[in-house]
Amino acid sequence: MKKNILMAVSLLALLVLVTPSIVNAQALSSEDIKAQIVKEWERSKAYTIDYLNTMPANKYSFKAQDSIRSFAQQMLHLAGANVFFMSLATDQKAPSFPQDLEQRVSAQTKDSVMYFVTTSYDYAISAAKSSDVSKWGEKKKLPFGGYEETRYALIIKAIEHQAHHRGQTTIYIRLQGIKPPQERLF
């Protein structure tokens, strides 16, 4: 009997403690989620520009290993994927990037890389801002691999992809004896 009373009092105390936080919790609206996605793209753009400005212009062709992309190619790949994923996710008109952008020697200068990367982020930000959130649950078929994902998942994958490739370039910068930019989580 004492055990049951102690259990009941404990549960009541827990309920009293938890109820105010449940009552005060607010649901996120689709516009809140959209605003956060835009904020993430804006933060990612600023962070990537820090990386582009940290690597010396004469080291953009540097490769950490012969069999992998150069710093410039990593960043051009990031830019192309930003445009690819966001155009697929939002159906917004994408900027026209050459198919072989990563391989074009003329695209691998600091000025050119900066142009393509900032253009891709500006596009991603604009596409996120102007996209119809009510369609983010719709599934889209990718033109490779037989994958099918929601528009929202494609946006998240675009954010993940650019972070992955920016992160890979950290070692390129460190191998030049340079400290990479401080992380920007917020």
Map tokens 């919790």 to a residue.
25
90: which DSSP letter?
Answer: H
CATH label of the domain that carries residue 50 = 1.20.120.450
In a domain, 105, yes or no: yes
Neighbours of 168 (CB within 10 A): 16
Within 13 Å, how many C-alpha atoms sit on residue 21's CB side? Answer: 5
- The count of structural domains within the chain is 1
pLDDT of 94: 97
In a domain, 142, yes or no: yes
pLDDT of 184: 86
Q: Label residue 165 by pLDDT band (50, 70, 90).
A: very high
In a domain, 41, yes or no: yes
In a domain, 5, yes or no: no
Element (H or E) spanning 149, and its range? strand 148-150
| pLDDT exceeds cutoff 80 at 26 | yes
The pair of three-digit structure tokens given for residue 175, joined into one six-digit string: 């191998």
Residues 28-77 pLDDT 10s: 999 999 999 999 999 999 999 999 999 999 999 999 999 999 999 999 99
pLDDT of 104: 96
Residues 78-132 pLDDT 10s: 999 999 999 999 999 999 999 999 999 999 999 999 999 999 999 999 999 999 9
Instruction: Tell me which residue range forms the domain holding 142.
Output: 32-174
CA distance 40 to 82: 13
Neighbours of 6 (CB within 10 A): 10
In a domain, 1, yes or no: no
In a domain, 9, yes or no: no
| pLDDT exceeds cutoff 70 at 6 | no
In a domain, 13, yes or no: no
Greater confidence (30 vs 18) lies with: 30
pLDDT of 3: 65
CA distance 144 to 138: 18
Residues whose CB falls within 8 Å of the CB of residue 119, separated by 6 or more in sequence, listed in order: 79, 95
